[in-house]
Amino acid sequence: MSDERVRRLMHSAITAMKSGENNLANKYLERVFITARDHDVLADAWFYLSEITEEKEEKRKALEEALSYRMTHARARRSLAILDGKLKADEVINADRIPAPATEDREGNAERFMCPNCGARMSFSPDGQTLSCDFCAKGEGVATEGETFEEQDFFTAMATLRGHSKPVARKVFHCEGCGAEFLLPPDSLSAACAYCASPHVVSHNEIRELLDPDAIIPHAFEQRGATQLLVEWVQENNFTPHGKVIPPRGFYLPVWTFDIGGAIRYHGQRYEEQTIGFQTKMVLKTEKGDYPVFIDDLVIPANHKHKKYISRLVETYNLREAKPYDARYLANWPAEAYEIALGDASLEARSQANKRYKKEVALRMSYLAKLKTSSENLAIDSYKLLMLPVWMTTYTYGEKDYLVLINGENGIVQGELPINAKPKSNGGIMGWFNDLIDS
């Protein structure tokens, strides 16, 4: 049957559905299943069948069939999520009519961590496991052996406000220690009370302007360890910074990670020998197909600042060491909030995946002329918001400031190096080191 005939059958099925004639629509769709060869058409047909099917298991079967033909079928993914209880129908939004974020100050919940033994404040110790009292040194375990976290379904998130949220300008939180209230800047997830110094972590579950992180890689060493790594890096590169350097400052950096699957569709032309009777000649043939794609944890920085250097630094983390997010990890540690929303980050991830695999397809299919590719079947399957431990400082050389970032998990240093740096002997590296330790 011709493509035009299949399109007419689909049009008739949709018209019957809109008129409430589900039995007639079902008959048209059955004919589509028998005659259609195009996977996109079959995916749509199975989705429409799910819309007119009342029985739950039959609806599930139709949706799974639709996704077997096109895993990127957004409406089928969304309907299956609703059927499985992962998404509520009333949470689904129109992406073209997203309500404006609140601009007024909002109250945020702050969790204060107090020692159950003496009542003093508790801070996360950079051993990856313990919340320790600053006064009596009583420890409380944070991490549980074997704990895992679930990555978030991307299609479900993008159907709701979760996939489109951005931080607003200001929020108000209340210190439970002394009763003071502060404006929390939008680039912070945690803060210490300016009056009683109690560490607090802001919860965004009720405010819904920021998404809570899904996972975190805890800090593994303290400031003195970061300072020592900085000094060793300077020594290895044989130069001495000019002036006093502020010791590295530790914080958590947000990044998005995406799991991407599907396929890159390609088509091109090649010559093929063809024998007709006693004569052999070269015939131009068209070749097309789908090149499979799978990327686990493609990392996209969640902020614009120092993006070039952050992108290089994130490659040095062992993402498999991430733990389920727990607010206690942020006790007494600053944490930067994301400014790039999930939807925007996903577009960047998809673009990077497409560029990477287009190059791979071009290499594998180099025998094809006029090669063209399409990313329409490339899909983001899941994501997570991950907090990474970072130490940061700057140093001056000549009249320019240079940025240094240290991986808070394994101590790898990524830093800008001055051009034509010359070693100094007046005070030398040890003199600079003493100034840094004493500061």
Q: Does 2 or 134 have the greater pLDDT score?
A: 2
Q: Which residues pair with 289 in a beta bridge?
A: 266
Residue 268's Cβ-count burial label (10 Å; 0-12, 13-18, 19+) is: buried
Decide the pairing of beta strands 122-125 and 130-133: antiparallel
Rounded-to-10 torsion of CA 337, 340, 342, 343:
160
Going from the C-alpha of 364 to that of each of 264, 295, 335, the distances in angstroms are 12, 18, 44
Please state, in angstroms and rounded to a whole number, the distance separating the CA atoms of residues 181 and 151: 35
- Spatial contact of 334 and 253, defined as CB atoms under 8 Å apart: no
Least confident of 180-189, 236-245, 283-292: 180-189
Give how far the C-alpha of residue 80 lies from the chain's centroid of Cα atoms, to the nearest Å.
23
Please state, in angstroms and rounded to a whole number, the distance separating the CA atoms of residues 236 and 413: 11
Tell me the average pLDDT across 244-249. Answer: 82
Please state, in angstroms and rounded to a whole number, the distance separating the CA atoms of residues 415 and 391: 11
Tell me the average pLDDT across 289-294. Answer: 91
Query: What is the per-residue DSSP string for 27-85?
Result: HHHHHHHHH---HHHHHHHHHHHHHH--SHHHHHHHHHHHHHH-TT-HHHHHHHHHHTT
| CATH architecture, range 3-86 | Alpha Horseshoe (1.25)
Domain ranges in the chain? 3-86, 107-216
Residue 40, number of CB atoms within 10 A of its CB: 14
Q: Which residue type is seen at 267?
A: H
Please tell me what DSSP assigns to residue 99: P
Residue 10, number of CB atoms within 10 A of its CB: 19
- Is the pLDDT reported for residue 250 higher than 60? yes
Q: Which of 269-273, 350-354, 416-420 has the highest mean pLDDT?
A: 350-354
Give how far the C-alpha of residue 396 lies from the chain's centroid of Cα atoms, to the nearest Å.
34
Going from the C-alpha of 227 to that of each of 201, 221, 223, 250, 417, the distances in angstroms are 26, 10, 6, 11, 17
Tell me the average pLDDT across 395-406. Answer: 87
Tell me the average pLDDT across 193-218. Answer: 63
Q: How many residues does the chain have?
A: 439
Query: 257 — phi, psi (to 5°)?
Result: -125, 145
Going from the C-alpha of 20 to that of each of 13, 16, 17, 23, 199, the distances in angstroms are 11, 6, 5, 9, 60
Q: Does 200 or 317 have the greater pLDDT score?
A: 317
Please state, in angstroms and rounded to a whole number, the distance separating the CA atoms of residues 434 and 439: 9
Please state, in angstroms and rounded to a whole number, the distance separating the CA atoms of residues 186 and 134: 28
Please state, in angstroms and rounded to a whole number, the distance separating the CA atoms of residues 390 and 409: 8
Rg of the chain over Cα atoms, rounded to whole angstroms, equals: 28
The reported pLDDT for the residue numbered 229 is 94
The reported pLDDT for the residue numbered 183 is 45
Least confident of 214-228, 251-265, 286-300, 413-427: 413-427
In 302-399 the beta strands, taken as DSSP E runs, fall at: 323-324, 369-374, 378-397
The reported pLDDT for the residue numbered 92 is 65
Alpha helices in 151-299 (DSSP H): 154-158, 223-236
Least confident of 40-44, 186-190, 273-277, 338-342: 186-190
CB within 8 A of 383, min separation 6: which ones?
151, 152, 154, 157, 256, 257, 258, 259, 342, 346
Q: For the chain, give the percent of residues with pLDDT over 70.
A: 69
Output the six-digit token pair for 380: 């983001």
